[in-house]
Amino acid sequence: MKVPQIVTDLQLDSFYKSPELCFDEALKYDVNKADILARYGRMLISKHDYVHGIDKLTESIQFDKSSANWFAFSSRASANRTRYKNVCYKYRQGEHIERPEKSWLEDAKCDLIQSVEMNPSPGDMANLGEVCYLLGTDEEKNVINENQMNEALVYFYEAVQLLDGSKYPDIHHRRGNCLQALGEDRHAIECYKRAMETENPGTKHTYSFQFMLEILLKHYRQKQSDGQGAKSILSEIVFWFNEGRLNYKDLNKWMESVTNKYPNEMLEMCHEYRRKSNPMAAKMCLLWLQKLENQEQIKEEAGQLQQQIEDEFPGASGSNETLLTSQSSVDVSATLSEEALGEDDVNVEKVVNVHVTRQTSKQERIPQPLERAKNTKGKEYDFFVSHSSKDKEWVHYSLLLKLEQEYHLKGCVDERDFRLGEYITDNITESMGASAYILVILTPNFVESRWCKHEMKEAIHDCVEGGAKLIPILLTSCEVPKDIKKLTYLDAVDFFDWERLVRNLDL
């Protein structure tokens, strides 16, 4: 370790090389020993000297048990929690003979309860949730105490609600771990999605993405065997895998493992990306498939598909380019209108006689609707979604799944819920009138669509006449239309605050 010249000039080399000497010296002079001992303990713990670090923190707490020293309680809990997790990992790997001590977790729980009472924070509340989760599972992550697991879920929920806890990806991830251990796969998936959405772009922390993808692939395989609902899950997989491949670095190592476990499912993903005109995602998956061992038939199919994609998309290259989105569907809730007219100057008067006469081939892949709404206003739907069809995958596999699967709110979207054989304009008007809330998803695609503008005007009219409430959601930066500029909107450009949205869906 190179010593800075100024340290040498001041003859402090020994202190630089051994921070313990600094703390020992400080303890001789400073009257606030609790603070120094707390920091001393943290330093020792950072060097994995848990025993002596915890001793120093205990000394600190003995000097000062007041809320001013909450940091020592939090630090001691963190040391015991981390020590347990490290030994647990080594035990699973066969590197440690003795089982980790549950008493460490009990001590950590007591300290964290003290800490959050003194200084409530999302981090400590989530740590308390994780300690309960670890108390509720064995070294192999099997549930052994459901009461502790239920406590963990309560603390994780409170962590998300506290201050800006909903912006911490690790809180969503650990909450997902707890739900997954309890067999609540769908809720775990939604937590992993929230973790992905709050991660910094380009991060290497891919655990949430990995866990979510593996659960979805497992469910897709099961649904294929059952013969029901497989296409809906496949569409969800391809949407979220595409999100992941654009946001995360270095997927190769664990994606090779996933491909070995789910080769047929990965091949289906490639076919789906080809159908959706997204060659980049397809080619990325094909690279992993072509590395498979003892899977000659799948490798042959992958090679044939690779050639087909090369022929169909000769200009596609690289692995992380902008998505080549499918232009097969046209804007708005009324999918057929602009297709039928084929004109740039579409207006409502021209399409009043256009009927919805068929479902699109992709309709069966949208999540199935709930049986009944939760609102007390007698409305058929809790919310209607007004959006551009170019944003429909996000609506179907993020917004709809979140609000329907996790919060049990019944939504209305065009491709699933519009009545066949009715005029499109009537479908829009009736669906909005049958909804307690109207969510307007603002993106550049939305503001450029004349059909979306028509929907927005219908929504404003229905809010005035029918008592529905309009909630704009700014999903991507764009100019907010002047018709709704005076309304308070949810700014979801950098972070989607789901809890705030749900709080405002006052049903």
**From the CB of residue 156, how many other CB atoms can be counted at a distance below 10 Å?**
27
Whether the pLDDT of residue 156 is over 50: the answer is yes
Q: Which of these, 323, 234, 311, 249, lies nearest to 281 by C-alpha position?
A: 323
> Could you give the angle at which helices 279-289 and 263-275 cross, rounded to 10 degrees?
160
Q: Look at residue 11 in the predicted model and tell me its pLDDT.
A: 64
pLDDT at 349: 34
Joined together, the tokens standing for residue 142 give 């099997």
CA 97 to chain centre: 36
Q: Tell me the average pLDDT across 388-395.
A: 90
Give 333-374 pLDDT, tens digit per residue.
333 333 332 333 333 333 333 333 333 334 446 778 888 999
- Give CA–CA dist 229/235, Å, rounded: 10
DSSP string computed for 235-302: HHHHHHHHHHHHH-S--HHHHHHHHHH-HHHHHHHHHHHHHTT-HHHHHHHHHHHTT-SS-HHHHHHH
pLDDT of res. 176: 97
435-490 confidence digits (pLDDT tens): 999 999 999 999 888 878 877 887 787 676 667 789 999 999 998 888 888 889 99
Structure confidence at residue 1 (pLDDT):
60
- Say how far apart CA 381 and CA 439 lie, in whole Å: 12
pTM confidence score: 0.78
pLDDT given at position 130 = 98
Tell me the two tokens of residue 314. 């000769």
Which of 464, 462, 466, 442 shows the shortest CA–CA distance to 453?
A: 442
| Stronger pLDDT, 93 or 77, i.e. the higher one | 77
CA–CA dist 189, 180 (Å, integer):
8
- Do the beta carbons of residue 198 and residue 168 sit within 8 Å? yes
Predicted pLDDT of residue 42: 93
Question: What are the angstrom distances between the C-alpha of 354 and each of 166, 221, 335, 348, 432?
Answer: 44, 40, 11, 10, 19
